[in-house]
Structure 1
């Protein structure tokens, strides 16, 4: 066979049956990404003779004698080294994490003018989980969003659009082995025996690892600064399987095919145990105790009742509050399992370095916490473990877990060779984590004047087979969802419960999206009973500076009003909906309605979130910034460069960043809870300020003082007419033994609050139940917006993801088995599914945040579902109490309401 790849002939031949994607990646063309292996996501798009194809479903032999073009070869001899579409994506910042970008560009670059006029159809084969697609449309249209000032583009942007940026699996160490996992076919079973003989005899198999090869230490896959935040209920390999898809054993082999064959050859005998799938049934007497073997000290609240975490609080007299109310609404609201669906699956590569240390390259939001967990589980000194990540392909909380690193670490230590474990898309759905499904019984009362008198919640969270993040999600969701309202009486009963289903975990919003759906729907319903406008109802009851923020406790701890913009957000959204712009209402049997919802979030997780940064002046006069926080589309790298450049009067191009490497120094709790800016950014601000002081002091010590004193200027220090290049300052300082490095840290306290308000105008078809979003608008109280382009993208991406969760995303589980394990069965928003969202920012500056900024990565997700449900209620008269708002459910409920049945669904 003969192939031409990016204009270069290749004599390499594919294996029988090999797809074009794995063939190209095996040759080092790592710009071709793996997102699904089913032709669903488009991340692997390449050209065959100029036509875009999904290389994961294209047999490699079909490229014989044809011209294959990958993202690395797209530019050809283009001026400036970039194809016009690559330049367009760079100028428009048409990406966030960037994992989908190469495939998106390859498709977009092949479009003719007619196809560009129909992007929903033309890009239907390319998925993006981060952007919400607006910036992608801008790129195709030739818009320029990155202006190099406040709207600084991502420092890694050139690498992203050319395919040079390296994600976790985009390396191939010499001697690399591949691990695959055998997973449980039962929801609850005990492993009686494992016969490895046939698996070990498979050609290429190097090792088979199971429970008797693994450490017995218990841990949690969830990563927190305080390990005790989660119960220790997990082992690397266990003898008890608690969900369908739990890992039983690992086969390590020379190739992925051999590892898969080894897994199929393993003979495992199971004792099937009784299973329970409903959290209420799991708490009932006689239910199988999933973790009944755990001893005291595990952190499980009540193993005998399958209760991971439980709390009860009452502030004020709720019974008296309901007795005082003129209107009371009570119902149960249910949210479903939702998958993170980041396009880069969980993956890691581990090896031992020349000093014998364990090194793990991984796709994680928490490299420092992962190092600590690996050292503990494997009984290694922390200094003998290094964890690093380069670019991470999305996370949304799903990578605040340790789900693959322990396996590759164990395998690398046992084999003495590098080992890679990369999950398939099906494994992502069936064996990682999801959003917690939560059922919330809410009762709320108000007087005729609209003042809320009492609220009571009973929240039952299905945490699945393991308790990672169970307690934190429950407490967080129950707390801030009601703390935003000034209500004299509040009662909460919360339960996080084990079941024999796929584990839940950290997910964007961390419990708030589930509880806010219930609370904001209930507030809307009681407003309707009283005939009060929903915006006015909220204005009369929300907290304001000086009002205690009371959720599940009267002690608000270190949370302060660093700034307040909720009033502005309500006004902005109300005015935007009142304008009546957006798409016109369609003709025919459509009902039109509008709805709104609000949310509050603490800008930093509680109980300490730590970050350390360093900035040094290099000998060439450029700056080297070292930060621990990870980049996974959250834009942390960009804002850190902006912060440092502003303090040091430098060009952003003169700041090189090293991050997400435990060897680089400086602890970082992790990029979750929107802390990449408000915690790590503050550490970088302090480090840059420290270096600025050191530079000016060094200039005076080395060169004396002639005028008003030394000041920083781009590339130099100046004193009146004197100008000394920074490279000369660095050389002089080195000769004098002066250190020109600044350090900064922040411990995450005190914390501020951020707000988001969303509004929709929708049309609902009375016959089919279809929903059309005519207007979508979100106002965000983000404090001083360091990078408006990037922050707008975070809001748009969060809204798009939340629309998917509100309308059609649902991870279905039947008798413990996930039945929606691929993208075509689990519908994440495509280009055609996402309406434009108008993004508005409140004019605030936070006294606690760096440069006045507040967090805004996860909070845009939270108010979207209730705002949409409230709009559908306004249009149809039916209160929907369960997500998703699928067309068939809307049709059935609207028809039932027309027949006089109960008007909730």
Structure 2
């Protein structure tokens, strides 16, 4: 491992700078936004998963006292929009494609009247067959979710056809020859259910439209510039006509990356001339937001007797719901990960992303990866046990090494995977048998690649010697604290002397969405470069005043001074005055970056479980999480991300599932029936940080993003631990007591 520099501020466990604002209730969330003349909006949603709209009549609802406006597809643009494939409208046109799809929206003087008005809207439907299974959706003759799919604007390289949103194929070597070289072949099939992000705060949007047509929207979002761009397209209006203000966010996990309530809120505000607020209840949030994609995965792997993997052929079918949302070559991205973090010379992967008549799916922490690594890592365990090799040693034998060619990106700056596996063994007690009956340990080994999206930041010195940062990125994971640490480190200040503000789209520098573990690198890098430029301005000003060379100056504790003679110096307050009057204006600097190249993060988790053979209940007793973080800018925050992601992974592993009947109706759209893990279900999660700073490419101090990877290997680790404990495998998520008990009965 590389030697770690001893920094003054970065690399230290510092509490979130906004903690007091949040715990005292001063933070302004979407529901806290109040405006004069505010109306309340409600949305009429389809009770059917797939049906033609025969008749829609709003006249009775319009006559209800207190109702100020009703909007339907007639008031919305006819041109469809969307992230990559332009396949979606603000309101359903001609037919509905999932239960919960918006049909109309009402604005009234209070929410109760708006709710009553929904009941007065008359809609006649002609039910159509539901499309639930993504593999069946790909069959010839399957019911089409979008009959006019060929008319949608989309890139030419997605492999679209019928219900196929995206098809991708990855070939490495000669897979047929590889299987001929194999001594053993292993085949398995896995299924993963649809899952919701489970954030605390449902979606909220408040919109107002000025007399000149200027639109202002307050919304709970992970990326205000991204939502502004989507909204401009959906409304067929100019970006400059929209001001998007991101409120504080009560959790996102990828579920607040797309348009949900903003378009209907704007249409109602435009029609009434008054501001309109729409708040989802929990049932609506389950029905009509963007959960994690369900999937079916088939894997066939050829291996030598000594445990060397030589070939893999895999297929997968992801369901993306009724609309493509942001499915940017999703199949290709997932297909490139199907080798796992292992050397496999011969690979063939065929991947499909399919339309179904379910809620449109999008991002959820590490999109696509928890599903495939649940399959890949169980498959690795099956092979290890089949060959009589310890599962951890089997992984070490096939692990990628630095510089190995892969389909996932460069591995040169990744940590040593074999070393990480050995560290996981040491930290978890892998080589000792768990004490007690029906207990076992399992391992999951995965990776995530994250780079950085284009973005910019601005920093300025204030009159009192403090520093302000203006950013357009939303603070979802404590990134404002991290940015403050970077500025404080470069400027020789305490974190309490740095203020970070998220501006709206009218005033802030353009920033990427807070997703994909890209903010720490992209925004961290740009704020570091901007601060370096600001620091250089101040050093040059001080050099003139002190009659010294810039290279002979240092900055610390709010002063610039001559190295070796610290009494010769100026305070930052004094330098502000000199800069403002003598060097062309107050000290200010900004920096913009393009896409940053991806880096590979390895993630290894070891779970210890106890299985009740009478009920099938699985209790996770311990979870060790070993993660490649590059450089931990804030170890407290990094450990929190690992613990939070792992706990979310436990829910995904054991209980979380959106259940649909054969007609496509969601049967558990409430937190009472959608089982999130509670404090009683969660063991102690032991985070182990592997710090090998990135040595190349744009990055702040060698840091990597860490928000996504912790959820990826958890389900596989738990599934493998169940096998180690009681000798049965469950091939579908979640790993419910019913499934475990069934497997136990089939075993005996």
Structure 1 residue corresponding to 2:559, chosen from 712, 716, 720: 716
Question: Which residue of the partner structure matches residue 831 of structure 1?
Answer: 679
4+ residue runs of structure 1 moved beyond 6 angstroms? 579-582
1:162 aligns with 2:51: no
CA contact (8 A) 1:445 1:454 kept: yes
CA distance in 1, matches of 2:383, 2:263: 50
Q: Which runs of 5+ in 2 are unaligned?
A: 1-8
CA distance in 2, matches of 1:581, 1:628: 50
Question: How far is the alpha carbon of 1:370 from its aligned partner?
Answer: 1.2
Q: Hey, what's the Cα distance between the residues in 2 that align with 1:148 and 1:315?
A: 41
Match of 1:576 in 2: 427
**C-alpha displacement of 1:703:** 5.0
1:197 corresponds, among 59, 67, 83, to 59
For 2:690 and 2:159, the matched residues in 1 are separated by 45
Out of 59, 81, 103, the position equivalent to 1:248 is 103
Aligned residues of 1:302 and 1:308 also touching (Cα < 8 A): yes
Instruction: For 1:519 and 1:572, locate their aligned partners in 2 and report how far apart those are by CA, in whole Å.
Output: 21
Q: In the alignment, which residue of structure 1 is the partner of 2:469?
A: 625
Quick check: 2:170–2:335 contact (8 Å CA) kept in 1?
no
Give the CA deviation at 1:471. 4.8
Q: Work out whether 1:729 is the aligned partner of 2:575.
A: yes
Once the two structures are TM-superposed, the CA of residue 149 in structure 1 deviates from its matched residue by 7.9
Q: CA shift at 1:706, angstroms?
A: 8.3
Is 2:81 aligned against 1:231? no
Matching residue of 1:446: 303
Look up the match of 2:4. none
2:619 equivalent to 1:772? yes
Give me the whole-angstrom Cα distance separating, in 1, the residues matched to 2:35 and 2:432.
55
Name the counterpart of 2:43. Answer: 181
Check conservation: 1:560, 1:750, Cα contact below 8 A. no
1:660: Cα distance to partner? 5.0
Q: Alpha-carbon deviation of 1:468? A: 1.7
> Partner residue of 2:528?
685
Measured in 2, the distance between the counterparts of 1:585 and 1:797 equals 27
- Cα deviation for residue 717 of structure 1 reads 2.2
3-state SS of paired residue (1:890): helix
In 2, Cα distance between the equivalents of 1:750 and 1:148? 23
Is the 8 Å Cα contact of residues 730 and 739 (structure 2) preserved in structure 1?
A: no
Structure 1: distance between partners of 2:648 and 2:33: 30
Structure 1, unaligned runs of 5 or more? 1-146, 223-229, 899-905
1:673 deviates by: 0.4
Match of 1:286 among 131, 141, 148: 141
657-666 or 621-630: which moved more?
A: 657-666
Distance 1:627 1:751, change over 3 A: same
2:652 equivalent among 782, 805, 809: 805
1:561 aligns with 2:407: no
**1:408 Cα deviation after fit:** 1.3
> Which of residues 753, 756, 760 is equivalent to 2:600?
753
Determine whether 1:317 maps to 2:162.
no
Instruction: Find the aligned partners of 2:248 and 2:432 in 1 and give their Cα distance.
Output: 39
C-alpha distance in 2, partners of 1:478/1:533? Answer: 27
Q: Secondary structure at the match of 1:663?
A: coil
2:62–2:117 Cα contact (<8 Å) kept:
yes
Q: How many angstroms does 1:522 deviate by?
A: 0.8
Pick the aligned partner of 2:729 from 876, 879, 882.
879
Q: Tell me the C-alpha RMSD between the 2 structures.
A: 2.1
Instruction: Quote the Cα distance in structure 2 between the aligned partners of 1:752 and 1:759.
Output: 23
**CA distance, structure 1, for counterparts of residue 590 and residue 294 of structure 2:** 42
Residue among 130, 152, 169 paired with 2:14: 152
Of 740, 749, 760, which aligns to 2:587?
740
2:264 is aligned, of 403, 407, 411, to 407
SS of the residue 2:732 aligns to: coil
Q: Which residue of 2 aligns with 1:98?
A: none
Q: Per the alignment, do residues 710 and 843 of structure 1 end up closer, same or farther by CA in structure 2, a change over 3 Å counting?
A: closer
Partner of 2:332: 475
Using the size of structure 1 for normalisation, the TM-score is: 0.78
Residue in structure 1 matching 2:154, options 299, 304, 309: 299
SS at match of 1:158: helix
Secondary structure of the structure 2 residue equivalent to 1:178? strand
Q: Distance in 1 between matches of 2:419 and 2:37?
A: 59
Q: CA deviation at 1:441?
A: 0.5
Task: Report the 3-state secondary structure (helix = DSSP H, G, I; strand = E; otherwise coil) of the residue aligned with 1:789.
Answer: helix
Matched, 1:865 2:721: no
C-alpha displacement of 1:787 = 0.8
The alpha-carbon deviation at position 774 of structure 1 amounts to 2.5
Map residues 620-659 of structure 1 onto 2, 5 A cutoff.
Answer: 620-632=464-476, 634-659=477-502
CA distance in 2, matches of 1:836, 1:759: 12
